[in-house]
Amino acid sequence: MLESLTLTNFKAFARQEIRLAPFTLLTGLNSSGKSSVLQALALLRQSYNSGDLTPTGGLLLNDELVQLGTGQDVRHEAYDDATGPHISLAVREDGLEAEWTAAYEREADHLKLLSSHGRAFYVAPQAKLPTLFGPGFQYLKADRVSPQVSYPRSHHAVTTRGFLGAHGEHTVNYLRTHQDEPVSGKALRLPDAASPALLAQTEAWMQRLCPGVRLVAEDIDGTDAVRLGYHFGSGFSESNRYRPTNVGFGLTYVLPVVVACLSVRPGALILLENPEAHLHPQGQTWMAYLACAAAASGAQIVMETHSDHVLNGLRLQVKNGRLAGGQTAVHYFRRKGQTTEVVSPVVGPDGTLSEWPQGFFDEWENSLDQLLD
């Protein structure tokens, strides 16, 4: 499991080490560096997938997972003489440390790795960094696929790779293909679901967000597309099938997150950007419950959120003993001049936080104070 990520001269960070846990929650104001943490991990994975993490390779800035631009876009603007102008990403996993330093080139979108520049350099095979480079990796961006009449059908994506797509575009086909397979994590199985199968468990979790919803995922004969349908109710009271375009954004937007969490295997790495988008507060809390269950099943979750309901859902799961406080990491990002600093409150066994820094989910109290004034 990944234990830490260290960023040097990368985007908002001059140099910052970030502790990673089975469930890591990233929060803070807009443009404070939260997404950069996910992007750094995705950048390493992207470069590995393309075969670029070799002594003669580099960091591939633009490909399937992230599109970061050129060197000018990713280098921290206020580097100092101690670190130099180059960009470095380092991870520690199960005690093994690996670091990649790339030469800064202003207009390049492929930054060459340096085998020597006063820094350790290590090209890590999958066997030595299995969480970052192993199977089961998912990265779901904030701009997930919107409700559509049909979705792509790719056997390679969902069967060979088991990948939902960075925008969740392969989720419907993944659900269609694997709907009868059992959900492996015991903590992920809801007892009121019709069965342990993926489709039944997906419906049960989705019903926490929208009571009575049911799903149909099927192929469209003669095409390279699949479609998703929603029903509401059951038996004699079951509704007609609805297209995703005739149902609110929330259900379709959250479906990739639900399927990603339910499909995890021990050792998988799941990166989630704003999974609470378009969800009612109750649904946001349940989203935290789902992510905690995935972490309790052996996956590693790194989640960016703006929701205090997600934070409180995590705290409640710790208090209720479904995830230990030591299995969590909460990081609050805030700008300080030209760089970003990180404050990391610790979640206690009773769900309390060791500190509550200014600006950390305090808007409700600030508004209440004004209302009562």
pTM of the model: 0.94
Name the percent of the chain lying above pLDDT 90.
79
CATH of the domain at 310: 3.40.50.300
Q: How many helices (H) and strands (E) does the chain have?
A: 10, 15
> Model confidence at 118, in pLDDT bands (50, 70, 90)?
very low
Query: Among 262, 286, 301, where does a domain finish?
Result: 262
> Model confidence at 179, in pLDDT bands (50, 70, 90)?
very high
| Longest CA pairwise span in the chain (Å) | 72
Task: Tell me the mean pLDDT in the region 229-253.
Answer: 87
Higher-pLDDT residue of 234 and 219 is: 219
Note the pLDDT of residue 117. Answer: 46
Interval 315-340: pLDDT, tens: 999 999 999 999 999 999 998 877 88
Task: Tell me the mean pLDDT in the region 283-305.
Answer: 97
Instruction: Provide the domain limits for residue 18.
Output: 1-136+264-373
Query: Among 262, 297, 327, where does a domain finish?
Result: 262
Name the percent of the chain lying above pLDDT 70.
95
- Quote the CA–CA distance of 275 and 264 in Å, as a whole number: 16
Eight-state DSSP code of residue 70: S
* pLDDT mean across residues, the chain: 92
Ramachandran angles phi, psi of 138, nearest 5°: -135, 140
Note the pLDDT of residue 124. Answer: 62
- Quote the CA–CA distance of 368 and 71 in Å, as a whole number: 45
Does residue 141 belong to any structural domain of this protein? no
Tell whether the model's pLDDT for residue 121 goes beyond 60.
no
CB 168 within 8 A of CB 140: yes
> Model confidence at 147, in pLDDT bands (50, 70, 90)?
very high
Say if residue 372 is in the same domain as residue 326: yes
Does residue 333 belong to any structural domain of this protein? yes
The single residue listed with the structure tokens 């060197």 is 71
The single residue listed with the structure tokens 């049909």 is 150
- Quote the CA–CA distance of 114 and 102 in Å, as a whole number: 6
Say if residue 64 is in the same domain as residue 82: yes
Higher-pLDDT residue of 196 and 369 is: 196
> Model confidence at 363, in pLDDT bands (50, 70, 90)?
confident
Say if residue 337 is in the same domain as residue 279: yes
Q: Does residue 300 sit in helix, strand or coil? A: strand
> Model confidence at 81, in pLDDT bands (50, 70, 90)?
low
Say if residue 166 is in the same domain as residue 270: no
The single residue listed with the structure tokens 């259900």 is 251
> Model confidence at 120, in pLDDT bands (50, 70, 90)?
very low
Task: Tell me the mean pLDDT in the region 82-107.
Answer: 90
Tell whether the model's pLDDT for residue 143 goes beyond 60.
yes
> Model confidence at 165, in pLDDT bands (50, 70, 90)?
very high
Tell whether the model's pLDDT for residue 10 goes beyond 70.
yes
The closest alpha carbon to 177, from 263, 242, 275, 271, belongs to: 263
Strands 13-19 and 2-10: what pairing? antiparallel
